[in-house]
Structure 1
Amino acid sequence: MTVQHLLLVVPGAPGAAAHLVEADAQHPQLSVLDVAATRGDGIFETLSTGRGHAQALQAHLDRFARSARMLDLPAPDLAVWRDAVLALAQRLADHDEAWVKIVLSRGIETPGVAALPTGWAYGTVSPDFRRERTEGVDVVLLDRGLRSDVSDTSPWLLAGAKTLSYAVNRAAVREAQRRGADDVVFVSSDGLLLEGPTSSLVIRRGDELATPPDALGILPGTTQVDLFAAADQWGLRTVVEPLTPDDLRAADAAWLVSSVRHAAPLRSVDGAALPVDAPLSAAMNGFLRARTA
């Protein structure tokens, strides 16, 4: 039986704090009029937990608030969301790896009436990612169709916000699967590497780890930040700079890193083999699983 836990984050009256309500994840909770369902108009974060510890919690909460600002949503009460995550992490404390997803939507559309936001936190046990973390994944490069300066030229496109509008991301993964691959690395229309549909890109060049900058319109990666903070213990230095497909093809190793799957090495790009650094992959994943904050 699937282990599932659900807390609703109920907004308070004007001037009052939101509060948490226990709910049954097996029963419907969302109105068919909620814009989370009808328009994908909302934000989310997914974070890993291990034996009751929520990992990179503050970074996820900060990014949650950042996405809310980008969508002009009411500022989330981060203390309440923190309580929700910690409560679910404790309920999943018997498991080495689990995850919690927090969601905030604009609420129910009613003409002439200000909507109250809808929020919830859901937690369950993580899938087994041992194959992806050890054998690696095959990726294809796909054009995202946006220039690398999209955040400056067209901020209304919400590049770099973690929104509920994931239809394009899922379509990209299906396209990768049609091409015989597992995942995607997006490329800007002016030829720069960006990110995966649900992950950040990290490459190794000798003793250097590199990743593209957030300014290119990509989501700031909480897992990438944690790995870069730990890089010196593996004798590596770090750099954040624009990267091209040629940089990826010439890399000594590369990974797609994310909160739940952790570090998945890339074993091929568009069908061309890429070296898999098994020892460093194991070190990265061991570090990520062991985090207690």
Structure 2
Amino acid sequence: MSHATLFLVTRPVSVEGVLDDAQRAAPDFLPADPAEPQLSVLDLGVSRGDGCFESISVVRGHAQALESHLERFAASARRLDLPEPDLDVWRAAVHAVIQAHVPVPELFVKMMLTRGIEGANAPTGWVYAETAPDFREARTTGIRVVTLDRGYRHDVNRTSPWLLQGAKTLSYAVNRAAIREAHRRGANDVIFVSSDGIVLEGPTSNLILLDGGRVRTPQTDLGILAGTTQASAFEFFESRGLRTEYATISADELERADAAWLVSSVRQAAPINAIDDRELLVDGPLTEGLNEYLLARQE
């Protein structure tokens, strides 16, 4: 049975930002009932997807890579020209929602920040915790993926920064549409490829390839989200004596990969057992070691 716990962050941004005196005097966060309405239908996070978020894996009560998630949360807010989040408040709210949740082996916490109601000058923030899905099959048997054209050139982050590539925004309609397309093609997930043939990322994950003793991931200046789990995975591979690198990877290089994974904060490392119509080897022992390492992270 899934459980959910919600805290409303009543002081989500720095007091040097847009908060008035009443907002500055409010408690940092308050518990709320996730089964009851809490958000205005006029909130720009609802009507425009105007906001940012982070998903944090919690294993045996420990929030993994919390500081990295907080830093990325603030970076996304800056990309969206949102007021600066008060990270001390968000950090405390994450710890509070974990402590308030029913103890389970794995759960996840989401931090959400929106621009609030247009013209109200009051951003909206909340955190909630929920029991994580059972990803054991994805972590062992693996997943089938398809490649889909992202519709942008690989240099879009440099040529068109207003498209917000590399920010973790609430505008996830395209990502969800891509997952539905994967399901229509009999696959579980997606690898996005740029319109000029460069490998990017998954809708909710980073790609890691093993090729001839090298472990590679697409470089983050391609307008993809820098992955906290991907960074931890590189630490694991380096401890196994493998060379890691960030690289520009062409779509045809997927054909030469010895093994591949999609990695993300909650699912952890899902080995890829097929890319489009090509079957791919799942390295069971290496994947098991990788997931054990990721689940045991203390930062």
TM-score when normalising by structure 1: 0.96
Alpha-carbon shift at residue 93 of structure 1 (Å): 7.1
Distance 1:212 1:153 in 2: 18
Q: Are 2:122 and 1:116 aligned?
A: yes
The letter for the 1-side match of 2:241 is G
Alpha-carbon contact 1:50-1:98 (below 8 Å) kept: yes
Displacement of 1:206 in angstroms is 2.7
Note the 1:188-207 alignment, pairs <5 A. 188-207=194-213
User: Does structure 2 retain, via aligned residues, the 8 Å contact 1:97–1:289?
Assistant: no
Residue matched to 2:228 = 222
CA RMSD of aligned residues (A): 1.4
> In the alignment, is the contact (CA less than 8 A) between 2:3 and 2:102 conserved in 1?
no
| Aligned-partner SS, 1:140 | strand
**Which residue number corresponds to residue 10 of structure 1?**
10
Q: Equivalent residue of 1:198, what SS? A: coil
Question: For 2:249 and 2:143, how far apart are their aligned partners in 1?
Answer: 20
Any idea what SS the aligned residue of 1:210 has?
Answer: strand
Does residue 34 of structure 1 match 2:43? yes
2:180 maps to which of 170, 174, 177: 174
Tell me which of 165, 170, 173 is aligned to 1:164.
170
User: How is 1:96-175 mapped onto 2 (pairs within 5 angstroms)?
Assistant: 96-109=105-118, 113-175=119-181
SS of 1:267 mapped into structure 2: strand
Instruction: Tell me by how many angstroms 1:92 deviates.
Output: 4.0
Mapped contact 1:41–1:165 kept (Cα < 8 A): yes
Q: Does the aligned pair in 2 maintain the 1:103–1:121 contact within 8 Å? A: yes
Q: Distance in 1 between the 2:279 and 2:250 partners?
A: 17
- Would you say 1:289 and 2:295 are equivalent positions? yes
Which one-letter code corresponds to 1:131 in the other structure? E
Indicate conservation of the 8 Å contact 1:249/1:274, yes or no: no
- Kept in 2, the 8 Å contact 1:53–1:93? The answer is no
Q: Provide the secondary structure at the position in 1 that maps to 2:7.
A: strand
Q: Distance in 1 between matches of 2:120 and 2:94?
A: 28
How many matched pairs?
290
Find the aligned partners of 2:298 and 2:102 in 1 and give their Cα distance.
12
1:53 is matched with 62
Distance 1:93 1:283 in 2: 28
Tell me the distance in 1 between the aligned counterparts of 2:173 and 2:294. Answer: 28
Cα distance between partner residues in 2 of 1:264 and 1:278: 11
Counterpart of 2:262 in structure 1 is: 256
Report the 3-state secondary structure (helix = DSSP H, G, I; strand = E; otherwise coil) of the residue aligned with 1:159.
coil
Instruction: State how far apart, in whole Å, the 2-side matches of 1:50 and 1:270 are.
Output: 33
Which of 45, 64, 83 aligns to 1:74? It is: 83
Say whether residues 1:20 and 2:26 are aligned partners: no
CA distance in 2, matches of 1:27, 1:93: 19
Identical-residue share of aligned pairs (%): 56
Question: Using the alignment, how far apart are the partners of 1:87 and 1:252 within structure 2?
Answer: 43
TM-score (norm 2): 0.94
Tell me how far 1:90 sits from its aligned partner: 2.5
* Local SS of the residue matching 1:108: coil
1:74-115 deviation digits (Å, cap 9, x = unpaired)? 000000000111112233472221100000000012xxx342
One-letter code aligned to 2:54: E
CA contact (8 A) 2:79 2:167 kept: yes
2:55–2:265: 8 Å Cα contact kept in structure 1? yes
The farther-off stretch of 253-262 and 204-213 is: 204-213
SS in structure 2 at match of 1:193? coil
Structure 1: gaps spanning 5 or more residues = none
Cα displacement string for residues 118-162 of structure 1 (whole angstroms, at most 9, x for unaligned residues): 000000110100110101100000000001111111010000100
User: Residue type matched to 2:182 in 1?
Assistant: A
